[in-house]
């Protein structure tokens, strides 16, 4: 690797590792929010008779189906929250994004 690339990589890695430090308040807050969302999803999932029947019908993979539904819903909630935040603040761009499309 080029020396400048190595320095850049180490700088980005150090920043990422710092953000993922479980001792920081930001990480704890994100984890707490994620746990609250998970509990809310589990509660609503338990109240949905069609999905409850689907999970209970398959003894071998019922737990996997439940986790898949919970994790997928949690991921969609987080993604929606991020997009809402972006749309809400309407950041101004230095250069307009003409004909450039972003794919996620």
| For the chain, domain boundaries | 3-89
DSSP assignment string, 33-45: HHHHHHHHHHHHH
Mean pLDDT of the chain: 80
pLDDT of residue 102: 45
In the predicted structure, residue 104 carries a pLDDT above the cut 70: no
pLDDT digits (tens, 9 = 90+) for 39-84: 999 999 999 999 999 889 888 888 899 999 999 999 998 888 777 7
In the predicted structure, residue 29 carries a pLDDT above the cut 60: yes
Per DSSP, 24 falls in state S
Per DSSP, 97 falls in state -
**3-state SS of 34-102?**
HHHHHHHHHHHHHHCHHHHHHHHHCCCCHHHHHHHHHHHHHHHHHHHHHHHHHHHHCCCCCCCCCCCCC
């Amino acid at each position: 690797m080029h020396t400048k690339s190595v320095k850049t990589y180490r700088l980005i890695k150090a920043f990422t590792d710092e953000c993922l430090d479980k001792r920081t308040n930001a990480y704890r807050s994100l984890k707490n929010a994620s746990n609250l969302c998970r509990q809310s999803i589990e509660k609503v999932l338990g109240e949905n008779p069609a999905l409850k029947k689907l999970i209970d019908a398959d003894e071998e993979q019922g737990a996997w189906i439940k986790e898949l539904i919970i994790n997928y819903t949690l991921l969609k909630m987080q993604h929606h929250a991020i997009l809402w935040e972006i749309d809400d603040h309407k950041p101004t761009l230095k250069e307009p994004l003409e004909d450039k499309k972003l794919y996620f």
